[in-house]
Amino acid sequence: MKKFDTAVQELRYRVLKEIAKHLFEENLNENLLDIPKAIVPGPKPSMRCCIYKERAIVEERIKLALHTPREDENVIQVIPIACDECPLGGYTVSDACRGCIAHRCYSACPKKCISFDSSLRAHIDKENCLNCGLCAKNCPYSAIENRIRPCERACQQKAISPSEDGSAFINDNKCIQCGACVYTCPFGAIVDVSSIKEVIKDLQNKEDCVAVVAPSIGGNFAGYKTGQIVSAIKALGFKNVVEAGLGADIVAIEESKELEEKGLLLSSCCPSFVNFVNKYYPTLSDKVSKTLSPMASISKLIKENEPNAKVIFIGPCTSKKDEIKRDNVKDYVDIVITFEELQALIDAKNIDISKLEVSEMDNASQFGRGFAQCGGLASAVKEALKERGSKFEVRALSCDGIVECKKALQNLANGDNTYNFIEGMACVGGCIGGPCNLTHEIKDKINVNKFSKEGKVSINEALKGSKIIK
């Protein structure tokens, strides 16, 4: 059964699995040099020009996986040695150029930096080119291509550019840690920092580890019941597994009150959306909800009930690794790992999920679980107002992806008051479109919908029935 969308995800997983296996067995140091050979056995290269380069890249992946993240560093990192295969150059004339006599490309160019050889084939003077794209738009054969790296194209904030050595460079001042580049890079040269070393250490030290799992778990681990994944997490040594969906139910109640009080509100659930507002629309920062995210809200309650607990969030999101650095969150969530990293931990321990019984979690409401998809938060806020008996009219706009978020924020900044509640989701589709979901397929959305419908009927019912919320 396919575990991942791409071979890049598979490669990241294999490295993490090997590291985790040796960490669990407490023999990593003596086997550290053998891991690259296990991943790239040879004698023929399987991914690049030679096995030696492949192994050198795996070594860099290992270093990054074992690296303890610093407070001041970006959670998205580039492995320069792995980033060397993408064509550069901006607008380039391809072989599709027919040498036509219309020369619309030349006429459209404001700098007249296009010339023609003896075959009338077009050439672009790169020194004078503005990369405006007018030549490409006017070419009748679509023979002019804009050669932008996949990571640069995926980054809507234009936070990625070529460095001096040609590898990708991330401008931390522009980056919102959404992870779109992580999923998009065809060579896996951009990765999110990992904390599996810290998780394994806590598990081996018999700490009271509590896992908080994102609602999008319902769309991951195809072929297994969600309750079996809960059992697998407990088999790793976690004391308890709690739904972040319960935190979503709390958020729905609190944001409904905040919206009714203020009359205008931007959601605070997606950390990348919050980063985007703060970095690109700082004049709107005061409109962002003061309510903690679902992850932080339920973790806060866990810490209040169990001060010594180690709370570890598990989800599809890279920016959650950035969120736990915030002053209002870091006391509640100790570590964040992704579904990719969870899969590596489970397999490193040789846990056969198919043979596990189904374990139950406190059921969040169907609205709390619905936070996994764009539009789910807005629906939950409306439901919370309804359950509270409020007559407040919500004019909600659910922004599906950062491009829609930008448009909505720009309209708001320009004085457009059509909407009084803006739900911002940086990933297209919402959390089910997050970069570290195991797969990104239609069936995942179907499974998430099914998981949501298995939740409690109402928000109040979920909160009253929870063992965590006292």
Q: Is the pLDDT of residue 219 over 70?
A: yes
Q: Which residue has the higher pLDDT, 469 or 418?
A: 418
Based on the number of CB atoms within 10 Å of its own CB, is 70 exposed (0-12), middle (13-18) or buried (19 or more)? Answer: exposed
Do the domain assignments include residue 441? yes
Q: Which residues contact 143 (CB under 8 A, 6 or more apart)?
A: 93, 94, 95, 96, 97, 98, 122
Q: What's the domain count of the chain?
A: 4
The rounded distance, in Å, linking the Cα atoms of 249 and 323 is 19
Same domain, 58 and 77: no
The rounded distance, in Å, linking the Cα atoms of 2 and 59 is 26
* Per-residue pLDDT, 236: 97
The rounded distance, in Å, linking the Cα atoms of 35 and 22 is 10
**Which tokens hold the place of 10?**
């598979």
Range of the domain at 7: 1-66
Same domain, 319 and 443: yes
Q: Are strands 421-425 and 265-266 parallel, antiparallel or unpaired?
A: parallel
The rounded distance, in Å, linking the Cα atoms of 194 and 66 is 7
Same domain, 160 and 184: yes
Q: What percentage of the chain has pLDDT greater than the value 70?
A: 99
Contact between 91 and 135 (Cβ < 8 Å) = yes
* Per-residue pLDDT, 1: 61
The rounded distance, in Å, linking the Cα atoms of 433 and 426 is 9
Q: Which residues contact 304 (CB under 8 A, 6 or more apart)?
A: none
- What's the whole-number average pLDDT of the chain? 93
CATH classification of the domain holding 106:
3.30.70.20
Q: Is the pLDDT of residue 400 over 90?
A: yes
Residues 133-174 have pLDDT tens digits of: 999 999 999 999 988 899 999 999 999 998 888 899 999 999
Same domain, 123 and 258: no
Same domain, 140 and 181: no
Q: Is the pLDDT of residue 403 over 90?
A: yes
* Per-residue pLDDT, 113: 93
Residues 349-361 have pLDDT tens digits of: 999 999 999 998 8
Same domain, 239 and 142: no
Same domain, 391 and 303: yes
Q: Is the pLDDT of residue 14 over 90?
A: yes
Do the domain assignments include residue 201? no
* Per-residue pLDDT, 286: 97
The rounded distance, in Å, linking the Cα atoms of 378 and 22 is 44
The rounded distance, in Å, linking the Cα atoms of 235 and 102 is 69
Q: Please provide residue 311's backbone torsions phi and psi, each rounded to the nearest 5 degrees.
A: -95, 125
The rounded distance, in Å, linking the Cα atoms of 260 and 384 is 11
Q: Is the pLDDT of residue 268 over 70?
A: yes
C-alpha dihedral sign at 328, 71, 233, 316: positive
Residues 270-317 have pLDDT tens digits of: 999 999 999 999 999 999 999 999 999 999 999 999 999 999 999 999
Contact between 318 and 178 (Cβ < 8 Å) = yes
Do the domain assignments include residue 8? yes
Residues 378-397 have pLDDT tens digits of: 999 999 999 999 999 999 99
Q: How confident is the model at residue 442 (pLDDT cuts 50, 70, 90)?
A: confident
pTM over 0.75: yes
Contact between 339 and 438 (Cβ < 8 Å) = yes
Picking from 179, 202, 201, the residue whose alpha carbon sits closest to that of residue 190 is 179
Taking the CB of residue 61, how many other CB atoms lie within 10 A of it? 23
Residues 241-253 have pLDDT tens digits of: 999 999 999 999 9
Picking from 197, 196, 193, 271, the residue whose alpha carbon sits closest to that of residue 434 is 271
Do the domain assignments include residue 219? yes
Residues 252-262 have pLDDT tens digits of: 999 999 999 99
Q: How confident is the model at residue 320 (pLDDT cuts 50, 70, 90)?
A: very high
Distances (CA, A) of 156 to 159, 272, 318, 350: 8, 12, 16, 40
CATH classification of the domain holding 293:
3.40.950.10
**Which tokens hold the place of 191?**
């990765």
Do the domain assignments include residue 300? yes
Contact between 302 and 325 (Cβ < 8 Å) = no
Buried b (16+ CB within 10 A) or exposed e, 4-19: beeebbebbbbbbbbb
Q: How confident is the model at residue 418 (pLDDT cuts 50, 70, 90)?
A: very high
Same domain, 213 and 352: yes
Note if the bond before 43 is cis, omega within 30 degrees. yes
Residues 46-93 have pLDDT tens digits of: 777 788 888 999 999 999 899 877 778 899 999 999 997 777 768 999
3-state secondary structure of 76: strand
Do the domain assignments include residue 202? no
* Per-residue pLDDT, 190: 96
Residues 164-217 have pLDDT tens digits of: 888 999 999 999 999 999 999 999 999 999 999 999 999 999 999 999 999 999
Same domain, 178 and 313: no
Find the mean pLDDT for residues 437-459. 91
Same domain, 214 and 341: yes
The rounded distance, in Å, linking the Cα atoms of 241 and 340 is 18
Same domain, 318 and 340: yes
User: Counting every residue, how long is the chain?
Assistant: 470
Find the mean pLDDT for residues 22-45. 86
Helix or strand (DSSP H, E) at 82: none
Picking from 96, 83, 110, the residue whose alpha carbon sits closest to that of residue 145 is 96
Strands (E), 94-142: 114-116, 122-124
Q: Is the pLDDT of residue 119 over 80?
A: yes
Same domain, 174 and 237: no
Q: Is the pLDDT of residue 470 over 70?
A: no
